[in-house]
Amino acid sequence: MKTTIKTLCLLVLTLVLFNCDNDDGNADNQDECNFAGFTFLDTSDNTQTLINEADLTTDFFYTSSNGPEVEIYKSSDPGNFWFVTLVVTDGATGVGQLSVNGTIYNVNVACQRAGNAIGEEFRYDITASGLEAEYCVIIDLYH
């Protein structure tokens, strides 16, 4: 019985700490993400990948030749974990590309919070066939 209670408590704690569900409609009014960083769920086998915000670099190109765009990548492995999109305003939707372990996905993107300066936040919901992902990150570089 004690093992069951401990397991249940651990499960609840894990769900609270590692859930970055910004789909609640309150993301624009929420001060902090439940998980700051990248959350990726492969819906085909329910495997989850988490990368802390401190391990990511968020690059906001306001003057890009494509128009404003955001690039987010894993600082230690930028060739295998990255995301790029032109969706950079609150409430905007569009497309982007996401690379996870070197597999590139064309994804649908919804921007829940958009910053425009170093230290401000971007929040994205990302979907495609077989995956769901979320970013809750701070702008590190501005061009």
Supply the pLDDT for residue 67.
Answer: 86
Supply the pLDDT for residue 34.
Answer: 77
Supply the pLDDT for residue 120.
Answer: 96
- Bridge partners of 83, per DSSP, are 72, 98
Q: Is 123 helix (H, G, I), strand (E, B) or coil?
A: strand
Residue with tokens 């004690």: 2
Could you tell me the mean pLDDT of each successive run of 10 residues in the chain, 143 residues long? 48 40 44 83 91 96 90 95 96 97 95 95 95 96 94
For residues 56-66, one letter each, b for 16 or more C-beta atoms within 10 angstroms of the residue's C-beta and e for the rest, the string is: bbbbbbeeeee
